[in-house]
Amino acid sequence: MAEEELIAQRRIRRRWIWLGRVVSPTLAVLVYLGLRAHWPEQQLSREACVTAAIGTLIAGLWLTEAMPLPVTALLPMVLFPLLGVLPLRDAAAPYASPPIFLFMGGFMLAIAMERWGLHRRIALHIVRYAGRSALGLLAGFMLASAFLSMWISNTATTVMMVPIVLSVVSWAEEKLGREEADRFGSSLLLGVAYAASIGGSITLVGTPPNVLLAAFARDELNVAVPFGQWMVLAAPIGVVLLAVLFGYMAAGMPRGVNRLAEHTGLLVQRELAALGPPTRAERIVLAVFAVTVAAWLSHDWLERIAPLVRFIPWLPRLSDEMIAILAAVALFVIPVDFETNEFALDWETAVRLPWGVLLIFGGGLSLARAVASSGLDRWIAGQVAGWGHLPGWALAAAITAVVIFATELASNTATASAFLPILAAAAKGMGIPPMVLLVPATMAASYAFMLPAGTPPNAIVFGTGRITIQRMARTGLLMNLVAIATLTLFATYWLPLLGLTGR
């Protein structure tokens, strides 16, 4: 059944792609003609109309994935200079925005962890210490998935965790029977997938939309989003969602599953024994990882200590991006084997970095720059100025819901790239700080729980055949609604306390 459902989804995907290739350019032309016909040059310039049309084209191609996302992301660098919206220098500059290098350095650190198996050792130890009962086992798998996804991709985390879960489920099938094993397995698999998505939203390097927001806020709003401050904002949201997820999954656990905890402990011990003692490479990568995270979390407040700044005058110039690149460089120069001249990271391994995601960042930021420079943002702000009487929580809830359900059908990075410039302009028109809308929208892009196409972790666990589309949709809908409520409350009451609302 799962295979038939996947085939049907692929068929729908192909139709969606071709629909996007036809509809997106058509809508772009209609938007341009409609704006030029109804708005005089004095109120809406030709450049603003062209920007709106190009934005419509790019958003349509991104949301339908009618072309590869990185290819679509290159269009601003061609279309804006060609059609007179931005010079090539200005259109291309956002592709090298500093926060992009934060993601690059963080991802190289993650690649090094994966190269030497450090991420697997960390996951097994978490499961080993937490999994002393059925509920502990569920908590262990979820905590391991959430923690690792804070630093490496949620896709890699899920791919690593699923075989361990499936081996436990196979044992459960022998002891409990197929029906109860399926209930147990679906709880563990969904717990792993959803926890991976939630964990990724907690750090700036955990998922691409977070980095995109940091770059957009810095370049277009002049608002800094420090690594540590983001974690203070996002961690409570993640804890709430993980707690709700754990409670819901625990309620569906079969009664006899406690007998499996002992088997799981033996399984984990065998896996750890197979890994052997920690290697020099693992210890080096762990040390670089620990120092990097400590620097990310502490440098923002260390630079406020005047005696320390006098002793280390370059400390105020240090940024999250510089720390990330320094960590990456360190991995390339620290040897793990002097005889073979092998280092913690080499370029042959580092080329696995998702260059396409970096292009998507650049394309989204280039679009945002054109929206601002052409005056389109001021026009949008004027159109929504009358919405200012609506309460902030209602706007945050509506936008969060739209983004979450849009991400069920599209890439979270593409969704965030398409929404951020429009939401920023709308917030200015309503007289509210843009970050009040941008932060919940960005985090919402990571919380698509209903469909296999929503996130890679969803697709991976669905592909095991242990989860029905009905179970995923039912559980995912609950989590979507909880995410909407949680993000709305935190955006309304928690965000202003942290000073991240900007101006």
Query: pLDDT tens digits, residue range 114-143?
Result: 899 888 888 888 877 776 677 888 888 899
Three-class SS state of 342: strand
Would you call 463 helix, strand, or coil by DSSP? coil
- Using one digit for the tens of pLDDT, what is the confidence trace for 231-279? 998 999 999 999 999 999 888 776 666 666 666 667 778 888 888 899 9
Task: Look up residue 335 and give its two tokens.
Answer: 């040897």
More confident residue, 273 or 82: 82
Q: Over range 152-170, report the average pLDDT.
A: 83
Model pTM score:
0.80
Which pLDDT score, from 0 to 100, does residue 244 have?
95
Using alpha carbons only, give the angle 438, 442, 443 rounded to the nearest 5 degrees: 125
Cβ contacts of 24-27, under 8 Å, gap ≥ 24:
24/56, 24/57, 24/59, 24/60, 24/61, 24/64, 24/66, 25/57, 27/56, 27/57, 27/60
> What is the sign of the dihedral through the CA atoms of 426, 429, 430 and 432?
positive
Residue type, 119: H
- Which tokens is 148 given? 């690792």
pLDDT given for residue 90 in this prediction: 93
Q: What is the DSSP letter of 352?
A: T
Distance CA 476, CA 458 (A): 10
Separation between Cα atoms, residue 350 and residue 418, nearest integer Å:
29
Which tens digits make up the pLDDT trace of 282-302?
A: 999 999 999 998 888 887 777
- Specify whether the backbone of 208 is left (phi greater than 0), alpha (psi in -120 to 50) or beta: alpha
For residue 1, name the pLDDT band (cuts at 50, 70, 90).
very low
Amino acid 213: pLDDT: 92
Alpha helix (H) residue ranges in 449-494:
456-462, 469-489
Antiparallel, parallel or unpaired: β 342-343 and 335-337: antiparallel
Q: For residues 245 and 191, is the Cβ–Cβ distance under 8 A?
A: yes
Task: State the Cα–Cα distance between residues 162 and 464, nearest whole angstrom.
Answer: 9
Closest by CA to 203, choosing from 238, 155, 245, is 238
Q: Mean of the pLDDT values across residues 148-153?
A: 89
Among 141-155, 285-299, 445-459, 475-489, name the one with the lowest average pLDDT: 445-459
368-385: pLDDT as tens digits? 889 888 888 888 777 765
In SS3 terms, 392-439 reads as: HHHHHHHHHHHHHHHHCCCCHHHHHHHHHHHHHHHHHHHCCCCHHHHH
Higher per-residue confidence, 275 vs 12: 275
Condensed to tens digits (0 to 9), the pLDDT of residues 310-360 reads 888 887 888 888 998 999 999 999 999 888 889 999 999 999 888 888 888
Q: What is the pLDDT of residue 258?
A: 62
For the chain, give the mean pLDDT. Answer: 85
pLDDT tens digits, one per residue of 333-346:
999 988 888 999 99
Residues 6+ apart with CB under 8 A from 13: 65, 453
**pLDDT at residue 492 above 50?**
yes
Q: 480 pLDDT exceeds 50?
A: yes
- Per the DSSP assignment, residues forming a β-bridge with 337 are 342
Q: What is the Cα–Cα distance from 343 to 345, expressed in whole angstroms?
A: 5
Q: pLDDT at position 226, please? A: 87
Residues in contact with 313: Cβ distance below 8 Å, sequence separation at least 6, in sequence order: none
| DSSP letter assigned to residue 153 | -
At 305, is the pLDDT very low, low, confident or very high (cuts 50, 70, 90)? confident
Q: Residue 469 and residue 81: Cα distance in Å, rounded?
A: 45
- Does position 502 have pLDDT exceeding 60, yes or no? no
Higher pLDDT, 96 or 260: 96
Residue with tokens 């964990």: 199
What is residue 361's DSSP assignment? H
Cβ distance 195 to 158 under 8 Å? Answer: no
Per-residue CA distances from 374 to 86, 377, 429 (Å): 8, 8, 16
User: 272 or 89: which carries more pLDDT confidence?
Assistant: 89
**pLDDT score of 8:** 66
Q: Give the integer Cα–Cα distance in Å for 144 and 146.
A: 6
Q: Does the pLDDT at position 503 exceed 60?
A: no
Share of the chain above pLDDT 70, in %: 91
Instruction: Categorize the per-residue pLDDT at 387 as very low, low, confident or very high, splitting at 50, 70 and 90.
Output: low
What's at 313, amino acid-wise?
P
